[in-house]
Amino acid sequence: MEHFKNEGRSEFLEFLRGFELKRRSFNKDSMKRVVLKIPPALVDILSEKSGEEFEEKFKTLERNKALSFSGDKLNIDNSLFASFFESSMNDIISHIEDIFNADICRHLVGVVMVGGFSENQKEKLRIIEETPICMGIFSKFYTIGQQVSLDEAVEETTTDSFVDEYRKHLRDEPINVNVFISKKEAPMYVDECGCELLGKIIIECKNDERKWPERVFVKTRMEIAGTEIKVTASTHTGESVDASFEFL
């Protein structure tokens, strides 16, 4: 390929463009074979390197049942074409899992997919399905059995994004932080057996527009104040906010 790249730059680029288009539109569930146009210059180079006509040499390949060549067309079996990208797909999925497992990404709002794989709907769907994105993860203000002094405050940070079209209208609404209690010392999810919804913290934006920024990090501060639970909130943008706790 290096020889082909150096000797026929324009044909090399055209071949890459054709391959990329096939990859983006590829559907591994289809019964149709993938057909690639092979530039004459590449055929000549391969024939020269092998010492015999490329089409004849091609018939002796181990994968000749999954591949066929006629004229200037290379026909590739779907399963073989899919295997070209299997390693890259697995690496991407593994990398995303590492990102989600990192403490620094605990309040990750979203992931933006770019590049060829994101433009192929089947490949994008596979990445989404095989990446463990979990909702409803339990995050603790207090641990069961923990000794708490009056006026001792704890903080939790939540992240909200209103960038997506279907969430833009929520910029005018209060942010609600549901508060659960559990009989377990270290619950993982809020829908586990023994978890109950205690109430919610209602956080209202009080800036001039009465509207949240498109992305906002809200730090909620909770403290036991005598017979009541006192909550306050602040944002990373310095927005004026009010917070209150509402029991069910």
* DSSP annotation of 192: S
Question: Which pLDDT value is given to residue 65?
Answer: 76
Task: Report the percentage of the chain scoring pLDDT > 90.
Answer: 6
Region 67-82 average pLDDT:
85
Name the residue with tokens 């590829």. Answer: 26
Q: Summarize pLDDT for 146-164 with one digit per residue, the tens.
A: 888 887 888 888 888 888 7
Q: Residue 203: pLDDT above 90?
A: yes
Q: Give the burial string for 51-84 (b: 16+ CB within 10 Å, else e).
A: eeebeeebeeeeeeebbebeeeebebebeebbee
What value does the mean pLDDT of the chain take?
A: 81
Q: Summarize pLDDT for 181-198 with one digit per residue, the tens.
A: 888 888 877 888 888 999
Question: Which pLDDT value is given to residue 201?
Answer: 92
* DSSP annotation of 189: B
Cα separation, 3 vs 140, in Å, equals 61
